[in-house]
Structure 1
Amino acid sequence: AWTDLPGGVPDADDTPGALLALHALGADEPAHREAACAGIGWLLDLQNADGGIPTFCRGWGALPFDRSSPDLTAHTLRAWTVWRRLLPDALRTRTERATTRAVRFLEQAQQPDGSWVPLWFGNQSAPGDANPVYGTARVIEGLAALPDTEAAPAAEHRAVRWLIGAQRQDGGWGGAPQVPPSIEETAVAVSALAVFRRSPRAASVADLDNAVARGAQWLTDATGEGRRVDTTPIGLYFAKLWYSEALYPQVFALGALATATRCNRRDGGHSDAQA
């Protein structure tokens, strides 16, 4: 497993991120495969009885430490999916079974309006300090990575429609509908919709191209075409401790614009990051 600092406590957000990075850097490298098998095994052992993935340890969901989180579950799904075909048979079988349970958890955790609420991210201007835009965007990315035989298309389409509906008239997204926009939240929304757009399941969703294009334009304008980046405190820790990360808007915006650009080029002019 991985954490953000050497010697720190490993968690289920940094570990999938490291697994995705190793795959992007060279999935055929023996050292990368060995590390990936170890990381995937750690995530499999972490999975809760409800099928979701907690942050630090398995448990009963009574504490933030062991409570299953939709965004962490989706991040884990992405890591399992990219590595699966390269895993030893026994580990691949475990991963396939765990994927089925994780998808079932996401279906059950989806809100009635089609959104998902993350555990460690929020928005001070949103009802209940929640950040369903962040949570929904991350889950859409996780579900979009799955093949049709394992996907949850009904939940996926409801989430995509909700996220498109949460877009502001100016093209940006805040943490929830009618909330002031931020670079971080707009970027994760653009990334999710652009990634979903590559899926064959995207054909039936109206206004998808327009939402991606408007969001990408908002990011371009908000960052002064990449010359300035403002941070927003969307991180939410214990006891209402809000924090921002200088790299969040930079990494999120760069990933979103790169994904949207790749999608645009692939489609010959219509308006698609692993981390």
Structure 2
Amino acid sequence: MTASMTTTSTVAASAVVDAAGDLIAQLEREPHGQVSASVYETGRLVADAPWLTGHGRRLAYLLRQQGVDGTWGAADGYALVPTASAVEALLAALVRADPAEPGGPTRADLAVAGRRGLVALARLLDAAPSMPDTPAADLIVPALAARIDAHLDRMHHANDPSVTGAPRALPRVDRRRLDAVGALLVTDRPVPDKLWHAYEVLGPAAAGRSEIGPVAGAVGASPAATAAWLTHRPSVEQSARAYLDDVVARHGGPVPCCTPITVFERSWTLATLTRVGLPVRPSARLVTELAAALGSPGAATGPGLPADADTTAATLYALARLGRPVDPASLDHYDLGSHFCTWQGEDGHSVTTNAHVLEALGWHARHTGDGAARYAARVAALAGWLSDRQQRDGHWADRWHASPYYATCCVVLALAGYAPPGTARDRLDRAVDWVLATQRADGGWGRWSSTAEETAYAVHILLGTSQRSRPEVPSAVRRALTHLPVDAIEHPPLWHDKDLYAPLLIVRAAVLAARRLALRSAEAPSDGVSAGDGPSRAGS
């Protein structure tokens, strides 16, 4: 390597370190977290909280986000929930005859978008799409469809020209789950805490439940849930109103699905950066706050949400790598024997949750005095369970992310770092084969098109395992570098909440960490940087 090449490489590596330092500063400076705006959630505020500051900006946002086909959201069924929310919100505004704000959309603008959205939504429902496994989708769609039908009935009877040419009603949708939840709400039986995140579609029966109320101002860590809860109160609850005012002020009108995400953002970001050896130095206060988030049942993503195994495991792993290990006994709450649930009563399972649990338990098995005796057998069994979930072509898929590159990255790094020696080699080979086979012509990776986020996960898979010596890997990584910017950029939403979202700092951390790996690989392909407990680990 020439002197000029060495200098260029050093400058590039230094830029990554500086950018990672800026990320850590943002974690401390903006503790609520940085999350992309949500069409679904913004639509719910338009419908349920027109009195909230920024109503006109939210309407304008909905109109800007509508696609050329009349829908909102991504392909493969992901448009159904945001389209239903946006259409219902626009019809609600038309029925109320909301006055136009200066510079904002007119009634005619809303009517045009609403009609296009109605036609598109009817088309989506007619196609009977298989809904992606996003939270509460089977409650949201029938609840909003009923509201839309009520708006249409009223508007058609009034001969409102806004719906001329629009369907008189939507195709029938499956209400069984929504009706079952409604029946549960009017009993004295306990209601799963996770339902409160979607309070806005639970109906008036939810107002009679005394166990639900704001936590740090938020109901279910959701602006929509909080606004709907306020509409059921005879007087304004000041902490909830303050929460909504703060969210709107921070996001400029449109709002995210879940906020704040303090623990989630900090744990994922710190785990990602420290795993590749980036010299991050969070303040003692931040680390202490992260540790304090771990109660006996673990940690929750946000206030008003139940603790879950995913956030708990990521927090445990991040703290361990920062030199502040905490006993992982809280994960016992989620141990089902064969694998770990994300929360008690979960329908289905999550491979990424179990990958994060494997990392947390694997670290303690390897680094604490009694860890091997307590966790080695559980680690081995969990590695086997994850291996068995691999798809035929070599990838993994999961319920918390639209892209298989995220799920595959989580599982590959966990197996490469903590599976018993030799037990996962074939699984890792197949994962690398799949990544190499799915690289796009432009050098990136992605479910729908190349993205920085998904390209980062692919690079982590290629360079976070023992497969880095394969001759195809260096050229694939070199082609990917242009998709791994050191500067902050916009990221398309790929993570599952009520609709898709992007946790911006978490994604940026993944991109920076992948760029770090790629640059080091270009310098010295056998430098030893790897997942798990390679020479680059921090705090061990």
Q: TM-score range by the shorter chain?
A: 0.7 to 0.9
**1:272 & 1:99 partners in 2: Cα distance?**
19
Alignment of 1:51-200 (within 5 A): 52-57=339-344, 59=345, 63=347, 67-89=348-370, 91-122=371-402, 131-146=403-418, 149=421, 151-175=423-447, 179-196=448-465, 199=466
CA 1:4/1:263 → structure 2, altered by over 3 Å: closer, same or farther?
farther
Give TM-score, length-normalised by structure 1: 0.74
The number of residues matched between the two structures is 236
Cα distance, 1:229 vs. partner? Answer: 0.7
Q: What amino acid does structure 2 have at the position aligned with 1:194?
A: L
**Aligned match of 1:237:** 497
User: Match of 2:464, SS?
Assistant: helix
1:212 aligns to 2:212 (yes or no): no
More displaced, 244-253 or 153-162?
244-253
How far 1:211 sits from its partner (Å)?
2.0
- Provide the C-alpha distance between the structure 2 equivalents of 1:5 and 1:18, rounded to a whole number of angstroms: 13
Distance 1:268 1:149, change over 3 A: closer
Percent identity for Structure 1 against Structure 2: 29
Partner residue in 2 for 1:15? 312
Report if aligned partners of 1:53, 1:73 keep a CA contact under 8 Å in 2. yes
User: Residues 230 and 249 of structure 1 are in contact (CA less than 8 Å); yes or no, is this contact kept in structure 2?
Assistant: no
* Structure 2 letter corresponding to 1:49: G
Would the aligned equivalents of 2:394 and 2:430 in 1 still touch at CA under 8 Å? yes
Contact residue 484 and residue 512 of structure 2 kept, 8 A = no
State the TM-score, normalizing by the size of structure 2.
0.40
C-alpha contact 2:342 2:353 (8 A) present in aligned 1: yes
* Structure 1 position 41 matched with structure 2 position 329: yes
Residues 131-187 of structure 1: CA distance to partner in whole angstroms, max 9, x if unpaired?
A: 222211221111110365263111121111112211111111113xxx301121111
Q: CA deviation at 1:230?
A: 1.2
Unmatched 5+ residue regions in structure 2? 1-297, 533-537
Report which of the two structures shows the higher radius of gyration computed on alpha carbons: 2
Amino acid at match of 1:184: E
Deviation at 1:8, TM superposition (A): 4.2
- Structure 2 residue identity aligned to 1:166: T
C-alpha change, 1:111 and 1:267, in structure 2 (3 Å) is closer
Instruction: Please state how far the C-alpha of 1:206 moved relative to its aligned partner.
Output: 4.3
Structure of greater relative contact order (alpha carbons < 8 Å, 6+ residues apart): 2
- Runs of 4+ in structure 1 over 4 Å off: 271-275
Unaligned runs of 5+ in 1: 27-31, 123-130, 221-225
- Kindly indicate whether the alpha-carbon contact (under 8 Å) linking 1:12 and 1:72 is maintained by their aligned counterparts in 2: yes
